Amino acid sequence: MPMYFGVGALAAVVLARREATPAARATTAAAALLAWPLWAPIALSREPPARGPSTRGPEARILRALEEALEAVRGTPLATLLPQRSVEAMRASVARASQRVGELEAAVALPSHDPERARRRLEGLEAEGASSRTLATARVHLDNIERLARLLSRERRALDELADLCDALRSQLVLARYAGSNLHGIGDTVDEVAARVDGLDGVFHLEETEAPP
């Protein structure tokens, strides 16, 4: 019996860690502890819950900072500077931007989108004396790959800069709550955060509007 419950305890710890919520972890742990020979194979056959986009670095920082900023102003006159509905709209925009970054990262990681590979292919075709149409296609492919990489870099930078700004807003609001601060300055920071969030969707259009190098 001691060995039975010892193995059950180990199974309970391992399987509970796979669950996403405290309630699910408690249920899984209890079932594994008491009936691990039956429950463990069932639990292990399930895929672990997928992690949401909020696990991404910049997005996680932004959402955490916004949540803590919202908590800092709750129940105070500062609450008018950061309404709940505004924060919810910001969260939605940040989630969309983070999803785009993930999609771009997947696209850039494709072997066929390796810029060095595409560049070598173009150079090889030029050395072989390929037709102008074949060379034009290879150049378009290389140009598209380079633009994807630039776009990904812009999206990442925009999220990183917004994360820094949200951290500053959070500390500013916490300081204002407990020590008093310049409300005009806080309003300016809130406006800048909102403008940066609104600008996230515009990052994709920069490549279309900027002049070619």
Residues 60 and 25 in one domain: no
Tell me the pLDDT tens digit for each residue of 85-100: 999 999 999 999 999 9
What is the count of structural domains for the chain?
2
Residues 188 and 166 in one domain: yes
Residues 37 and 71 in one domain: no
Look up residue 111 and give its amino acid: P
- pLDDT the model gives residue 33: 54
Q: What is the pTM of this model?
A: 0.64
Mean pLDDT on 189-206:
79
- For residue 29, pLDDT over 60 is answered with no
Q: What counts of helices (H) and strands (E) characterise the chain?
A: 8, 0
Mean pLDDT on 166-195:
84
Residues 66 and 148 in one domain: yes
Residues 142 and 191 in one domain: yes
Long-range contacts of 162-165 (CB under 8 A, 24+ apart): 162/58, 162/62, 162/94, 162/193, 162/196, 162/197, 162/200, 163/58, 163/61, 163/62, 163/65, 165/189, 165/192, 165/193, 165/196
Residues 106 and 23 in one domain: no
**Can you tell me the distance from the alpha carbon of 168 to that of 185, in angstroms, rounded to the nearest whole number?**
12
Q: Which domain holds residue 19?
A: 2-45
- For residue 41, pLDDT over 50 is answered with yes
Residues 116 and 133 in one domain: yes
Mean pLDDT on 169-198:
84
- pLDDT the model gives residue 200: 85
* Residue with the larger pLDDT of the pair 6 and 87: 87
**Can you tell me the distance from the alpha carbon of 66 to that of 92, in angstroms, rounded to the nearest whole number?**
12
Contact 66, 87 (CB under 8 A): yes
Mean pLDDT on 144-172:
93
- pLDDT the model gives residue 115: 95
Distance of CA 167 to the CA centre of its chain: 16
